[in-house]
Amino acid sequence: MQDARKAQTTKSARTPRGERAPTSDAAAPASPAASVRRSPSAARRRRADAAESEIAGIRITSARRVIDADSGTRKLELVRYYERAARWILPHLRARPVSLVRAPRGLSGEMFFQRHSGRVPLPGLTEHEGLDPGHPALLTIDTQRALVSAAQMDVIELHTWNASVDDIERPDRVVFDLDPDPALGWDRMIEAAQRTRALLAELGLESFCKTSGGKGLHIVVPLAPEAGWDDAKAFARAAAQHLASVWPTQITATMGPEHRKKKIFVDYLRNARGASTAVAYGVRARPGMGVSVPIGWDELEATTGGAHWTLATIDARLAQIEHADPWAAYGRVRQTVTAELTIGLETGGK
């Protein structure tokens, strides 16, 4: 399974940790007498610091720590982003089991991929026992406070399941993850995404596109939760294999760089029970801090890559989305995948 992929461990000895006590702390009084003398302004400063680092009721520690040396992003900026983007992210997070990519030392340190509750609880997150047999509780992030709390606990990336905890055996979406051979031009990716959309439309399925925040695109097909995991995955596999059979020079449905040479890999494996995909509006733990951003199909041609938007440019995009949400119709779509649809793809695609 995709999620068995090993956690990234990119420890770098030469990169400074970037964690420094706030300069105001360095000026802390040395003696009790000095303390008394300076207390009014010191207290004011401390209050100002506390106000700055208390967000959505969560105390933010190491707020000034640089988490990405590339962009100079500090922890506080990430936390603040999750605070203000909560209204856009939460509809995609709420009630969905979430996997977390935690980077306690920033991108230059070791990162942890966490799929279940751990020894130390994450304040604000909801635990769901028994949904993943043989494992600790699954987690959901259902409130702005939980989202900020996760960021305080060094979570950078959020990956969600394709089902909600209320109906865990019946996925409510299928995801196609389009990964390019790095040597390919982005225009080929745009074309592959358009072809995927066209196939789905032929099958009567509306789909939605987002940048991954990394190298590629994610195409999401919302579903009414009716089919089970096996049927949803069989459909996704049949659709990906159909695309590969119709455009064998451009698209592959087989994992591994040797199959992907000069091609786009349409990955359907994210549709298994327990697999997850980076959430819409979530930040990626990669240099430059890309953000996964929903786009309208008519906007695809103007994109330049999977990390078209980053933490540095996301606010202007959120302002646009405020006027015209490219996924406005997402919640209104009622559609299902059936065994007949899958069989039709399997027999018609050859």
The residues that touch ligand ATP, with contacts defined as CB under 6 A, are: 2-3, 5, 7-8, 99, 113, 159, 177, 179, 212, 214-216, 270, 275-278, 306
> Cβ closer to ligand ATP: 288 or 349?
288
213 Rama class: left (phi>0) / alpha (psi -120 to 50) / beta: left
102 binds, among Mn ion, ligand ATP, none (CB under 5 to 8 A by kind): none
Residue 33: Cβ within 10 Å count: 9
Residues binding Mn ion (CB under 5 A)? 177, 179, 216
CA distance 315 to 146: 21
CB of 164 to ligand ATP, least distance (A): 17
Shortest Cβ 175–ligand ATP spacing (Å): 9
Nearest distance in Å: CB 306, ligand ATP:
5
209 interacts with, out of ligand ATP, Mn ion, none, CB within 5 to 8 A per kind = none
Cα–Cα distance measured from residue 291 to residue 312, given in angstroms and rounded to the nearest whole number:
9
The angle at the Cα of 257, spanning 275 to 181, to the nearest 5 degrees, equals 95
Closest approach of Mn ion to the CB of residue 42, in Å: 50
Least gap, CB of 124 to ligand ATP (angstroms): 21
Which residue number, 56 or 175, has a Cβ lying nearer to ligand ATP?
175
Taking the CA atoms of 281, 284, 290 and 294 in sequence, report the sign of the dihedral they define: negative
Q: H or E element: which one contains 48?
A: helix 32-53
Residue 278 binds which of Mn ion, ligand ATP, none (CB < 5-8 A, kind-dependent)? ligand ATP
Q: Nearer Cβ to ligand ATP, position 38 or 317?
A: 317
Looking at beta carbons only, is 294 or 341 nearer to ligand ATP?
Answer: 294
Residue closer to Mn ion (CB basis): 179 or 231: 179
Residue number, nearest CB to ligand ATP: 214
SS3 of residue 127 by DSSP: strand
